[in-house]
Amino acid sequence: MAGPHSTAMPADGTPVLLGLDIGGTKIAALIADESGRILARDAVTAPVREGGAAVADAAAALGLAVAGGAPISSAGVGAAGVIDHETGTIRAASATFVDWVGFPLAAELGARIGAPVVIENDVNAFLLGEAADAAGDVLGVMLGTGVGGALIVDGELRRGPHGAAGEIGHTPGYGELVCTCGQVGHLETLASGTSIARRYTERSGIGIRGSREVADRARAGDPHAREVFHAAGRALGLACASAATLLDLPTAIVGGGVTQAWDLLRPGIDDALRTDAPVSGIPLGIRPARLGGDAVALGAIEAARRSAPIPTH
Ligand SMILES: [Zn+2]
């Protein structure tokens, strides 16, 4: 991975903001100034099988290295799982992360970097980053290994009383296939990267490595591959239309690895918007994310900024 780009770092002791994206395979760090301009970034492998303390050690070391000696005024973390926002603790997470549930990440990381730390769910952080220029009400959908979702209503993240608002991947009505959660017919059974690969193999009898290979085959004219992406796009469009109808949302932003095949998802999305546009006449726009790999860390910085006490001077 590339080394830190630190040529733009302030040399005068001006405080900077740290954003961390802690995923199942890597930890990415960004340093930004108060205006949100990115000054430096780097990434390391995430030692998620070694426990929470090892992840906190790696994240802190990376963050301090990327800051290059500049004082960190506050830090935000986007992390997979359900977050307890009162204690900065991970309340529930995938089994990939060893000793992660109950780990006091905000306190442990704060002690290591010497600055206040705010933890946000990674999909929420993604949407905070991506929606910075979208006013008001936005739905975020992440098409990755699974399908995650997030909601901004009236300019604020809508987390819900159980921290589970926006879980669009596990809404029902999209068929008879069994979902990773054990229930049937959820959006995730058609639209996740894992599902796209599995659906293709079911149709074609051909075993493949992942959704990217399905995309290559679709662009080469494979009708099974095109059908699988059309079904994924149509289900995504229907889910966004349902959310928009319920909440009067004009915008849905879609991120995650599967959106590299946006050209293949788009026809199914347009098909859904033709047959099932919100009846209220909301001009629903569904667009791909723009910030790429920076979205979660930038959104985490925004989460930290939003939770910071208002300066008295
Ligand atoms: Zn499910």
What are the tens digits of pLDDT across the range 100-140? 899 999 999 999 999 999 999 999 999 999 998 766 899 99
Residue 36 pLDDT greater than 90, yes or no: no
Residues 53 and 163 grouped into a single domain: no
DSSP single-letter state for residue 178: B
Predicted local distance difference test score (pLDDT) of residue 291: 92
Residues 46 and 83 grouped into a single domain: yes
Q: Which residues constitute the domain of residue 106?
A: 16-115
CA 177 / ligand 1 centre spacing (Å) = 10
Q: How far is CA 106 from the centre of its chain?
A: 19
Report, as an integer, the average pLDDT of 261-280: 95
Q: Please, are residues 286 and 97 in contact by the beta-carbon 8 Å criterion?
A: no
CA 180 / ligand 1 centre spacing (Å) = 6
Residue 2 pLDDT greater than 60, yes or no: no
Residue 5 pLDDT greater than 80, yes or no: no
CA 242 / ligand 1 centre spacing (Å) = 17
CA 183 / ligand 1 centre spacing (Å) = 6
DSSP string for residues in 201-239: HHHH----S-HHHHHHHHHTT-HHHHHHHHHHHHHHHHH
Count up the domains in the chain and report the number: 2
Place of tokens 């303390």: 53
Summarised one tens digit per residue, pLDDT across range 285-310 is 999 999 988 999 999 999 999 886 55
pTM here is 0.90
Question: What percent of the chain shows pLDDT beyond 70?
Answer: 94
Q: Please, are residues 264 and 233 in contact by the beta-carbon 8 Å criterion?
A: yes
For residue 143, the SS3 value is strand
CA 170 / ligand 1 centre spacing (Å) = 4
CA 178 / ligand 1 centre spacing (Å) = 8
Residues 225 and 88 grouped into a single domain: no
Residues 95 and 148 grouped into a single domain: no
CA 17 / ligand 1 centre spacing (Å) = 36
Predicted local distance difference test score (pLDDT) of residue 230: 98
∠ at Cα 97 (95, 103), nearest 5°? 115
Q: Please, are residues 179 and 189 in contact by the beta-carbon 8 Å criterion?
A: yes
User: How many whole angstroms separate alpha carbon 221 and alpha carbon 200?
Assistant: 14
Q: Residue 110's domain is classified under what CATH number?
A: 3.30.420.40
